[in-house]
């Protein structure tokens, strides 16, 4: 819900460098929220074996690592980094979450008892990081909206 508030507030930044900056931060947040929503039914579905779930979650973790590396590269091109600490702790948290997801998937495949905890921690960390990013972006847009209106 907060992400839709962000998008609504950021409508005035639909062109130019600010729009590129807003998109550079909205898209990863949306992708990670989507990832959490994608993983939820996978984890809740009754599977005949834990192996398919482990395989899907490992692929999600690897894709998450690759995506985070791409996001960091794209966000470094945008000047918003000084206003939003997106390549700081939130990206480290996403890397940690994707690593925990891969470890949980490996543990699930090997039927280890830590696996559900690692997976649950990874999913929650991705969710909370998305909320944090949406909040940071909302605050940046509100701050710059006031500046934009004043000029």
| Position 10 in a domain | no
Residue 115 lies in a domain: yes
The domain total for the chain is: 1
Given a contact cutoff of 8 angstroms between Cβ atoms, the answer to whether 36 and 130 are in contact is: yes
Q: Give the pLDDT confidence of 36-90 residue by residue, as tens digits.
A: 999 999 999 999 999 999 999 999 999 999 998 888 777 776 655 444 554 556 7
Contact 115, 107 (CB under 8 A): yes
- CB contact at 8 A, 71 and 28: yes
Residue 137 falls inside a structural domain: yes
Residue 43: count of CB within 10 angstroms of its CB: 15
Could you tell me the pLDDT band of residue 21, with boundaries at 50, 70 and 90? low
Does some domain include residue 150? no
Residue numbers of the domain that contains 106: 31-43+50-77+86-143
Question: 62: number of CA atoms within 13 Å, CB side?
Answer: 8
Look up the pTM and report it.
0.79
Mean of pLDDT values over 112-140: 88
Residue 138 falls inside a structural domain? yes
């Amino acid at each position: 819900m907060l992400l839709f508030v962000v998008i609504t507030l950021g409508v005035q930044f639909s062109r130019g460098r600010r729009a590129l900056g807003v998109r550079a931060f909205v898209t990863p947040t949306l992708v990670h929220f989507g990832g959490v929503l994608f993983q939820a039914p996978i984890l809740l579905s009754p599977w005949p074996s834990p192996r398919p779930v482990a395989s899907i979650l490992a692929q999600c973790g690897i894709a998450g690592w690759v995506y985070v590396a791409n996001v960091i590269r794209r966000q470094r091109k945008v000047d918003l980094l000084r206003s939003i600490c997106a390549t700081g702790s939130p990206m480290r948290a996403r890397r940690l979450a994707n690593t925990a997801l891969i470890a949980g998937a490996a543990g699930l495949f090997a039927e280890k008892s830590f696996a559900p905890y690692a997976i649950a921690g990874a999913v929650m960390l991705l969710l909370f990081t998305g909320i944090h990013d949406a909040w940071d972006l909302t605050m940046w847009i509100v701050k710059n909206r006031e500046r934009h209106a004043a000029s």
